[in-house]
Structure 1
Amino acid sequence: MTFTTRLLARLCFWTRVDAPERLDKSIEIEALVRAHGDWLALLATILEREHVIGGEELARGLREFATHTAADRPAEGRILSFWAAYLQDTSVTLRDLPSLH
C-alpha cells in the first residue's frame, strides 16, 4: 500500500462516512490532496526560477515543518509530509530536465 493510499484511507476513516459515501469522499479527498500538491509544485518551480528558494530546500523546510506539526496535529503532519515528498520528487525531476530558457 502506497503512502498516498494509506493517507487517503486514514482521511476517509476520520470523516466517519458510510461505505458507499466513503468511496465518493475518498475520490474527492484524493483530488484535493493532489490539487494542492500540484499547485505547491508549480509555486516551488516559480520560486526556484526566480531564484527565491530552491525546490529541494523548500521540500526540506516543509518536511521539517511537517515533523513539528505532527507532534501536535498528526493528521496535518502526514499531509504536509506527503506534500514535502511530492515537492522533492518534482524538484528532482525538474532538475534532470533541460532548461527551456
Structure 2
Amino acid sequence: MTRVPPWLLRHRVTIEPYVGDSAYGPQYGPPVPDVPAMVAEQVRTVRDREGREVISTAQVITAPDTHCPAESRITLPSGRRTRALSAAHHTAPGLPVPESLEVMCE
C-alpha cells in the first residue's frame, strides 16, 4: 500500500470525529490535534453524503487511516472551524499512486 507522502501534508488540522446524534444534538469524539493534512480553501460544488448538491469551501487530504466521518468538526490551519460534508477514500490497488482520504468541508 502506497500512502500519500508525509512531506506533502504540510498543514495541521484538528479533527473531532462525529459519533452520532443525541437528544442534545450532534456528539463528537475527543479532538485529535495536529493531524497532518494538505488543505485547499477554495469554493467547489460537491455532493454531500445524502446526494444533495452543496458548496464546499475547503478540501482536506490526509493519510488513508485518518478517522474523519461525514459531519465531523474540523479546525483548519487558519483557525476556522468547519464541518465535514463527505469523506472519500482514494485507493488504487496495484497501481503506483498514493492512497489518501479526501474530506470535503462546509
Q: Tell me which protein shows more strand as a share of its residues.
A: 2
Higher RCO (CA-CA < 8 Å; seq separation 6+): 2
Q: Mark the structure with the bigger radius of gyration.
A: 1
The bucket for the TM-score relative to the shorter chain is under 0.3
**TM-score for both structures, normalised by structure 1:** 0.26
Q: Tell me which protein shows more helix as a share of its residues.
A: 1
